[in-house]
Structure 1
């Protein structure tokens, strides 16, 4: 998996048309459906409209077609005429199941064309044609097309044959392919940028971008629920950004964001309790354990705090050690201190205003 930091690095290389990255990664352009070399001279899209892949085959399987300007499959060689003919023919008829007669119809020697194709693309022509065919099917299915329609368009008469071929190439059967997408956006705060994952229903993750283990946390979420994660914005994400801005200005003391709890029953109990801690106040791990009915579960409470994926919204920063010390905040103790002092300052202001 390409990490978020790598994606940002790759995007800067793409903006700079950096030839040094050609062959290192490929960029899929969501608005046009093509994929490019980093050095492509075409107009550059926004970051959220880019998808990054380490191989051309991955880009093909995601449903992108090669850019005609930079010809991403030609690196580091130019494409021979007979190989370009094959690429053009796949684009014109992606459903075709190639036979020897098809090469002859194009005036090509099958063995020569296949050999040159492998030399240029580092994959066989059959792999290329299948990847392109299944990539188109996957893209259509994830956009709401019926599986049966894509099965027929891909040239398969039987559902089992299509599913077997799909599973072999994609690694998962059609039924397990993600149909839900989480949109990733970044939110700037006075104490660092936060990564926000949402769809049109819930907030799934809100973390500081440099939190230790964040990449692993995102990957677990993606694998567990079979999500696709792409860059973009949702109405929920916009509400999170707006309410965080109000929070840091001292204009909001509670959040009204629909959240998705990804955790065990006990963890969810702890998170429910955290939300009930009043703004500007704190509880100890021990106090929460007692409130949940077992004073011996202090460590478990600490573990649930650490597993919280919704920083600030679920205020785990309001939990401290029994002796009053600040401990155990994944975003860093400096941030925890800042948040507690921020809430204390604005709570005191409210008290003064009420006098």
Structure 2
């Protein structure tokens, strides 16, 4: 299945959106480590319907007009990673969860570090809200886009959900 991509500007920098005909596959950062999310060959297509829909919904999110995304998602990863990424999708807008909370949710309270590793490999940033996962003490830890961008996303959501 051919993967296509386009870039979009956002308040957290340039994002690279990746999709195929049936779903969004990735939202990647401008400073992305190419080893974090491995993808097959990509073809640029700025008119692809799935990419345009993702861009529109992300623009609405950044404008404070969207709290939930309505896009088909195609996560590529291990069964455990998939469980963690599905758990991310259940974190309400404007709220946070700890890595331990996610470990409990996926049924393995001892898997806190594995949850952190899976969270770090989340290919669909922002939409699968890995930025809403924080350390047990409330500290901002680990984020592929950088902690400054994590803080921007959390501030955006907390200001719009208040």
More helix by share: 1
C-alpha deviations, 1:173-210, integer Å up to 9, x for none? xxxxxxx3211100110110001111221111111121
Gaps of 5+ in 1: 1-179, 223-227, 349-355
1:297 pairs, out of 100, 111, 135, with: 111
Matched, 1:333 2:154: no
Q: Give 1:242's aligned residue.
A: 56
How far apart, in 1, do the equivalents of 2:10 and 2:51 lie?
14
Question: Does the 8 Å contact 2:36/2:121 carry over to 1?
Answer: no
**Is 1:231 paired with 2:31?**
no
Match of 1:201 among 22, 47, 50: 22
Distance 1:246 1:330 in 2: 22
Q: Which of 25, 28, 39 matches 1:221?
A: 39
2:79 matches 1:260: no
Q: Distance in 1 between matches of 2:145 and 2:35?
A: 15
Q: Which runs of 5+ in 2 are unaligned?
A: none
Taking structure 2 as the reference length, the TM-score comes to 0.95
Q: Please list, as runs of the form range in 1=range in 2, the aligned pairs for 1:313-324 lying within 5 A after superposition.
A: 313-324=127-138
Q: Distance in 1 between matches of 2:42 and 2:98?
A: 36
**SS of the residue 2:35 aligns to:** helix
CA distance in 2, matches of 1:209, 1:292: 30
Q: What are the residue-to-residue correspondences of 1:1-355 with 2, within 5 Å? A: 180-211=1-32, 213=33, 215-217=34-36, 220-222=38-40, 228-233=41-46, 234-348=48-162
In 1, Cα distance between equivalents of 2:16 and 2:36? 12
2 CA distance for matches of 1:216 and 1:321? Answer: 24
| Counterpart-to-counterpart distance in 2, 1:249 and 1:195 | 19
Deviating 4+ runs (over 3 angstroms): none
| TM-score, L = length of structure 1 | 0.44
Per the TM alignment, residue 216 of structure 1 is displaced from its structure 2 partner at its CA by 3.1
* Cα RMSD for the two superposed structures: 1.1
CA distance in 1, matches of 2:49, 2:36: 23
Q: CA deviation at 1:329?
A: 0.5
Find the structure with the greater CA-based Rg: 1
C-alpha distance in structure 1 between counterparts of 2:152 and 2:45, whole Å: 29
Q: Which has the higher contact order (CA 8 A, sep 6+)?
A: 2
